[in-house]
Amino acid sequence: MDDDEVAAAYDARAEEYIALIGSLDQMERADVALIGRWRDETPGTLLDAGCGPGLWTAFLDGGGRDVVGVDVSEAFLAAARARHPGVRFESASIRDLPFPAGSFGGILAWYSLIHFAPAELAAALRELARVLSPGGRMLIGYFDGEPGEEFAHAVAPARYWSPEALGARLRDAGFTVSWSQRREREPGTAGSVRPHGALIAVRAGSGQSFGRAEA
């Protein structure tokens, strides 16, 4: 799906999506802890790439950080600006980010790469690498499963990835994977139907780590 198709799909169901997973109270505590720790250990300006209704952008901003959220869905951006005044949100695609090279110390891509077909993912990762400073850290959340396999996501077709397959693509884009995790979702939480994967990738191999990999 291209950006216009993804944006239209989310625009059409924005109210439903926000009602289901529009606040931190609806998120797993493990996710909040992980993203909070990553935020606090990652220096520099932060980018929430594919910010949706802005809950994670506001969480990053609440840590006293300089942060910007971007998304292709105008409905999400309108909701984000209304719900989180004072936080910076911009209309932009991960495919073509309107920022100079090396603008950010950290990028959060939390389930925002799931709609890219395997053939398109490499270009998206290169663009994220472009705007990330050397040694910058990107935290990615994704659905863990057969790499590249498409499934019927609630809003738009999405893809599974594995840490090995995603890690290989990240290395090709100039990253080193420093930490990874796989776990089953807590029953009754958003996205609990499918296993969760997360990893941290460091731009240009700075050698930073984030604890031990977890199964």
The whole-number pLDDT of residue 92 equals: 98
- Average model confidence (pLDDT) across the chain: 91
The whole-number pLDDT of residue 20 equals: 84
For residue 156, give the 3-state DSSP assignment. coil
Stretches in the chain below the pLDDT threshold 70: 185-192, 205-215
Q: What is the pTM of this model?
A: 0.91
Distances in Å between the Cα of 151 and the Cα atoms of 9, 123, 124, 148, 158 are 15, 22, 20, 9, 6
* Nearest-angstrom CA–CA distance, 214 and 200: 12
Across the chain, where does the E strand assignment appear? 46-49, 67-71, 88-91, 104-110, 132-143, 150-151, 158-159, 175-183, 196-203
Give the sheet arrangement for strand 132-143, strand by strand: 88-91, 67-71, 46-49, 104-110, 132-143, 196-203, 175-183
DSSP per residue, 29-54? HHHHHHHHHHHHH--S-EEEET-TTS
pLDDT digits (tens, 9 = 90+) for 137-193: 999 999 999 999 999 787 888 999 999 999 999 999 999 999 999 988 666 555 557
